[in-house]
Structure 1
Amino acid sequence: MLRWGLIGASRIASSYMIEAMRAQEGADVLSVLSTDVARGARFADENGIADSYTDLDALLADDRVNAVYISTTNEKHHAQALAAIAAGKNVLCEKPLAMSLADACEMVKAAADKGITFATNHHLRNAGTHLAIKDLISNGRIGDVLSARVFHAVNLPEHLRGWRINDASAGGGVIPDITVHDADTIRFHLDEDPVDVVAKSGTSGMGEGVEDSVMSVWSMPSGAMVQTHESFTHGFAGTGIEFHGTRGSIFAQGVMTQEPVGTIRLVDSNGETAVSYENHNLYKRSLGVFTQAVAGTGRPSADGVDGIKSLAVALAVREAARSGRQTTVDYGGF
């Protein structure tokens, strides 16, 4: 039975995570941390949470809390996760895990040394659409994968902008916000990690000191190539992912989302087939898998190492865009 403390009074917590936590048998959310007293109290009242704190140590001192969910701005994740780990709490941390690869590695190693469950909140792995796509690839329906394409250029809603478009010190920019998700999704589907990347980033109308658009190409160990496009400024592009193999292709549209929606088409020598999938709640599935992992059954859908590796790809994309050179992905020894 997980008793959660929320580190961050965030929109994703109120919109998705609290419901998913409480959907697990015997689970509840006991407390929330916010640096703003009034905001924390209001968040707690609106979400039926008993305790609101401005001091992290006070939240972690509650022995009833045995798991925390970290959804603060990116630069805070490292210190908050280490404090929670030291207090013996299981940790589910938003992506990206940290601002640097070294910090992310330290978090994951600390959790392993403490013997607690540590996971990264990469939600797309839990979508029925992506589980169906992975099954198609794993079962050889498209043969050997030759290439993949991710199109994840969206219009960032105004209420989500703020630090994401104007504060590099907080981890703003489309690369840590969206590219890191696409890295995890590609890794999930292909069961391999990009070797090197080339990229170009820029601003197309929203970024204020950070990139709001990026395109990149990744080389995979198998020889497959991956093309990605992420942006905050594309209101009508739609999202999706494609995989092209020696025996067929998968076209998935509208699937790079927090909702259980979208379409999947399989095209091969037999023609075109619509692919069905389960339309369950992504976050409820993720929290269910996390709960089982805490209980000693299996692993989280995206664990700490997944968080490290997906961050590593995003960092390589940023460096390649900055330098104009092909950049080898450094996974920090993982």
Structure 2
Amino acid sequence: MTSTIRWGILGAAKIAQTQVAPAIQAARDATLAALATSTPAKAAPFAALAPGLTVHDSYDALLADPDIDAIYIPLPNHLHIEWTLKAIAAGKHVLCEKPIALQTAEIDQLIAARDAAGVVVAEAFMVANHPQLHKVRALLDAGAIGRLCHIEGAFTYNNPDPANIRNNAEAGGGGLRDIGVYPCITARLATGQEPTALRADIQYEGGVDTFARVWADFDGFTMSFYCGMRQGRYQHMLFHGSDGWISLSAPFNAQAYGDCRVEWQEADGITRIERFNSTAQYTDMIEAFGDAIRTGAPLACPLEVSRGNQAMIDGIFAAGDA
């Protein structure tokens, strides 16, 4: 393998076109080399971004391409495990959109397959690479806000379109899997802890969760968040301590949801602000993944961390259905 990671994308999904393909082209030592789609019109924007792009008319053909090192999978949720396992079997490194699985046990399959094949496999949690999360973790570790007491989070958008895959239960749609995963991963990565108890109130439409309120107990602090697919666009995370607080204005979709800043207050009562609007978190994710392939550098969100997040989501569904 060359020092430049040659990427192939499995399917012409919107997130691949608008976020990940440009990030691959912008990342150091990475290039978008191939795309799998049976619809030529869908390939046109990718070809314009990456001249010389190879377009395969099937997913299997892309996996068989010997000139591809890594595969990015933005397929519907219910197809993630199937095609991640197939890509691993083909000897490819794999970056798969979240949720990489629909059940915790499925991630155990991925971990076993990853270890047997000796490849790098990760869930595309771009937030794990964002410096604003690193800032929060550093402030918490330094005791800047005293003892952490409570975390609050929210992530919403309004998407009632019945044709949208997020509203398709058979495709693994629903708000918790699409956006509820973000408050979970942010709290877990910032604190390094797992929940000890969960409660949830979940509302469904057509078998898909459209709104959820969640309460979680951790060792020494609590958490509450809500996520929904029928409310105006909003996201926020707050870490409240005994001596102060840390607030994130755009913790998940930096810039797309407005000014990306970490604002915090310590025991001295002074409010401090650090902005991160120049950060390209998708590009950072691609570069970190490439470093893991080339040098074995640790991932910010390895499959073991993803497994914990899926376990939390599974627990939320179980608590809501109890």
Q: Give the structure-1-normalised TM-score.
A: 0.88
Conserved? CA contact 1:44–1:52, under 8 Å: no
Task: Check the 8 A contact 1:265/1:272 in 2, yes or no.
Answer: no
Do the aligned residues in 1 keep the contact of 2:152 with 2:237 (CA within 8 Å)? yes
Give deviations 1:117-148, integer Å, cap 9, x for gaps: 11111112222322222221122101221111
Report deviation, 1:39: 4.8
Cα offset, 1:196, TM superposition: 2.2
Q: Give the alignment partner of residue 112 of structure 1, picking from 95, 110, 115.
A: 115
**Preserved contact between residue 95 and residue 307 of structure 1 (Cα < 8 Å):** no
The alpha-carbon deviation at position 271 of structure 1 amounts to 1.1
**Residue 156 of structure 1: how far off its partner (Å):** 4.0
Gaps of 5+ in 1: 324-334
Q: State the AA in 2 paired with 1:264.
A: V
Shift of residue 80 of structure 1? 0.5
Tell me if structure 2 keeps the 8 A contact 1:120–1:306: no
Aligned residues: 315
Q: State the alpha-carbon separation in 1 of the partners of residues 197 and 36 from structure 2.
A: 39
Correspondence 1:166-315 to 2 at 5 A = 167-203=168-204, 207-220=205-218, 222-235=219-232, 238-259=234-255, 261-278=259-276, 279-315=278-314
The alignment's C-alpha RMSD in Å is 2.1
Whether 2:7 is the aligned partner of 1:4: answer yes
Look up the equivalent residue of 2:188 and give its one-letter code: R
Offset of residue 213 of structure 1: 0.6
SS of equivalent to 1:154 = strand
Asked if the contact 2:148–2:239 (Cα under 8 Å) also holds between the matched residues in 1, the reply is yes
Contact 1:217-1:226 within 8 A present in 2 as well: yes
SS at match of 1:194: coil
Give the whole-Å Cα distance in 2 for the aligned partners of 1:55 and 1:6. 11
Change (3 A) 1:169 1:62: same
Contact persistence 1:31–1:44 (CA under 8 A): no
Q: CA deviation at 1:44?
A: 4.0
- Residue 85 of structure 2 corresponds to 82
Give the TM-score normalised by structure 2. Answer: 0.91
Tell me the secondary structure at the aligned position of residue 106 of structure 1.
Answer: helix
Deviates more, 1:44-53 or 1:276-285: 44-53
Question: Aligned residues: percent identity?
Answer: 24
Contact preservation (8 Å) 2:6, 2:69: yes
Paired residue for 2:137? Answer: 134
Q: For the structure 1 residues 257 and 26, does the alpha-carbon distance in structure 2 shift closer, same or farther, using more than 3 Å as the test? A: closer
Alignment check: 8 A CA contact 2:88 2:119 kept: yes
Aligned with 2:209: secondary structure? coil
Note the alpha carbon deviations across 1:42-96, whole angstroms, 9 max, x for none: 4544443622223222111111101000110011111111111111111111111
Aligned to 1:162: 164
Contact persistence 2:169–2:206 (CA under 8 A): no
What amino acid is aligned across from residue 4 of structure 1 in structure 2? W
* Structure 1 residue 239 displacement after superposition: 1.7
* C-alpha contact (below 8 Å) 1:195/1:219 kept by paired residues: yes
- Distance in 2 between residues matched to 1:161 and 1:241, nearest whole Å: 30
Q: Give, in whole Å, the separation in 1 of the partners of 2:254 and 2:97.
A: 14
Residues 213 and 231 in structure 1, CA contact (< 8 A), matched pair in contact too = yes
Query: Of the candidates 99, 102, 105, which is equivalent to residue 105 of structure 2?
Result: 102
- Tell whether the 8 Å contact from 1:181 to 1:310 is kept in structure 2 after alignment: no
